[in-house]
Amino acid sequence: MKKLFSGSLRRKLAFTVGLSLVLAIGTFTVTQLSPHVFARQMECNTNSVMNCGFSSKSDFIAQIKNGDSRGHKDLAGLYAAFGFTSSDYDRFVSSAKPALFYKDGRVVVDGKTVATEAFSYGRWQSTHTGPDMKTVSGGGTTIYGNYTTQTFVGYSYMTGYVLFDSTGTPEFMVVDSCGNPITAKVVKSSAVCDALSYTVVSGKLNTYDFTSKGSTSGLASITKYVYDFGDGSSTVTKSSGSSTVNHKYTKEGTFTAKVTVYASAPGSTTITSSTTGCQKDITVKLPYYLCGQLGGEILDQKTYSYRFTATIEYGNGAQFISADFDFGDGETKTGVKSTDGATVSTEHSYVKAGNYSASAVLRFTVDGETVTAPTCLAVVTPTKPPVPQCKPGIPVGDIRCTPCKYDASIPADDRRCEAPVTELPNTGAGNVIAISTIALVGGFLGYRHILFRKHKRAYNAADSGASPLPLADALNDEKPLAGTPVEPEPVRSSFRKRRQF
């Protein structure tokens, strides 16, 4: 074996094998550290913004905070100049997506081109020199950029990461082998709900069919339509806006129905559309139905006949069918129809007087179902027919209508109703004597009274000097009229005591 190779050749062979082994081990190590296979070996040169690049998303953030292997402390400032700040670090670690940056300027994520006309930036000006060169400064350092068609010398593509914003549009891009940032003409993605429409379902109360229309731009793709009817009910999800969604409102009021369109975008981003163009206000009025009032009209008081009338109140889809009456005396009448749509009436006669509680139950149809309104009630009190009266409070036929004028306790046509006799009846000698005595005594007393009044007037006149006759003896108190024409006659003796004046 020693003769097969010269010393110089052996040394060259050993060096070649050793170098190959080192490169193989280095490549294996780098590949194991990276979340995806690197297209090229790490760029460990002074053109790299981050020396030798980074092995993972978390390693990228760690080097920004602490500096890379070459001790660059300008990383945070440089990346901030591209819009990537400390507020984005955690989001980069959790959601940045692997990407391929092609020499022709395409940026591809998950097989979709998310940007074109890519620019790559580095620390060497010479590599980026040309009419399209741009400069960016940050962290006290200026770096240079140009189209990848010029800067990717010897590479058809390089690998790295893209961080997307909430709309699925690329926000920050970086090559992993060198940490060089990438800018490009990004593809903006969006989802929009364009229209919401609804129609009333015939024959179904407060029920509507909804449809909607959505659209996208860029790389977004609609995944679902979510309907919210605004009445607190559960949302409904459809994969297509043209799919009909049926909903019935069971509450009264004005509700805002709306649709939200959801779409997927590169980077596993979910885009949510605004509902501004997909809102409809729907005013809902619930049906009402009730018995407003039940009344009883007297038709014939003699036969206790009544007409019962119930008022009907209904609307917003309710329709009246008929009424059932209960008259409170064990009699009923069902299925009574209305002639005017506002009232329903029936007639009934009671057998006898009394107090009765009449009622009416009204039936309606609502949304194809039969319903009843709360019962109406009325109290009925039939009384005996009135009796003709000859006088207030005295019915015809009462003896008080034609009383005997001589005796009110008997009617005028009674044979006992006769005028009283004007002559005294012959009642016998005793009665005659008694009557005569009474007449005599009465006459005597009357005469004495007249005589007293006459003497009294004469006395008063003589005492006052007004008497035309002179007194015989004016000083005689006992017989002042003695000897005059008005002298009183002597009083005869009597068993009665003399009357004093």
Per residue in 282-323, pLDDT tens?
A: 999 999 999 989 998 899 988 899 999 999 999 999 999 999
- As beta bridge partners, residue 397 has none
Q: Where would I find the beta strands (DSSP E) of 301-399?
A: 305-315, 319-326, 332-336, 343-349, 356-366, 369-372, 376-380, 389-391, 394-395
For residue 310, with 0-12 CB atoms within 10 Å meaning exposed, 13-18 middle and 19 or more buried, which class applies? buried
Same domain, yes or no, for 120 and 161?
yes
Distance between the two ends of the chain, CA-based, in angstroms?
205
Higher pLDDT, 426 or 360: 360
Do residues 131 and 93 share a domain? yes
Residues 93 and 130 grouped into a single domain: yes
In a domain, 326, yes or no: yes
Q: Are 324 and 337 in contact (CB under 8 A)?
A: no
- What's residue 333's pLDDT? 97
pLDDT of amino acid 413: 83
Cα–Cα distance for residue pair 125/274, rounded to 1 Å? 45
The conformational region for residue 335 under phi > 0 = left, psi -120 to 50 = alpha, else beta, is left
pLDDT tops 80 at residue 464: no
Q: What is the mean pLDDT of residues 260-285?
A: 91
Q: Note whether 117 and 248 are same-domain residues.
A: no
Helix, strand, coil abundance in the chain, percent, nearest 5 = 20, 35, 45
- Residue at 401 is within a domain: no
In degrees and rounded to multiples of 5, residue 435 shows phi and psi of -70, -40
Of 330, 352, 380, which residue is a domain's last? 380
**Domain closes at, from 165, 186, 207:** 186
Q: How high is the mean pLDDT of the chain?
A: 84
Band of the pLDDT at 467, cuts 50, 70, 90?
Answer: low
Considering the domain boundaries, does residue 5 fall inside one? Answer: no
| Domain shared by 148 and 82, yes or no | yes
97/282 Cα distance (integer angstroms)? 44
Same domain, 133 and 258: no
* Domain-located, residue 441: no
Q: Is-above-0.75 flag for pTM?
A: no
Indicate the pairing of strand 279-284 with strand 253-265: antiparallel
- Answer whether residue 140 shows pLDDT above 50: yes
Task: Based on the fold, state whether residues 82 and 160 are members of the same structural domain.
Answer: yes
Most confidently predicted of 116-125, 264-273, 394-403: 116-125
- Quickly state the pLDDT bin for 412 (edges 50, 70, 90): confident
**Among the listed ranges 14-23, 167-176, 276-285, which one has the minimum average pLDDT value?**
14-23
Q: 153 or 394, which is more confident?
A: 153
Asked if 132 and 148 sit in the same domain, the reply is yes
Give me the pLDDT at residue 427, please. 54
130 and 239 fall within a common domain: no
Task: Verify that 165 and 314 share a domain, yes or no.
Answer: no
Overall number of domains in the chain: 3
What is the domain-level CATH number for residue 223? 2.60.40.10
pLDDT at 276: 86
pLDDT band at 472; cut points 50, 70, 90: low
Domain end residue (candidates: 363, 380, 397): 380
Contact of 179 with 50, CB cutoff 8 Å: yes
The alpha carbon dihedral of 460, 465, 466, 469 has a sign of positive
What is the model's pLDDT at position 386?
56
* For residue 135, pLDDT beyond 90: yes
Within-domain flag for 393? no
pLDDT, tens digit (0-9, with 9 covering 90-100), for 65-77: 999 999 999 999 9
| Residue 92 one-letter amino acid | F
Question: What pLDDT is recorded for position 29?
Answer: 36
**Residue 405: inside a domain:** no
Query: Do 209 and 95 share a structural domain?
Result: no
In a domain, residue 422? The reply is: no
Report pLDDT for 39. 43
User: How does pLDDT run across 323-343, given as a tens digit for each residue?
Assistant: 999 999 999 999 999 999 999
Q: According to the model, what pLDDT value does residue 484 have? A: 63
Domain span including residue 29: 18-186
Query: Does 124 share its domain with 204?
Result: no
Average pLDDT over residues 42-62: 95
3-state secondary structure of 10: helix
67 in any annotated domain: yes
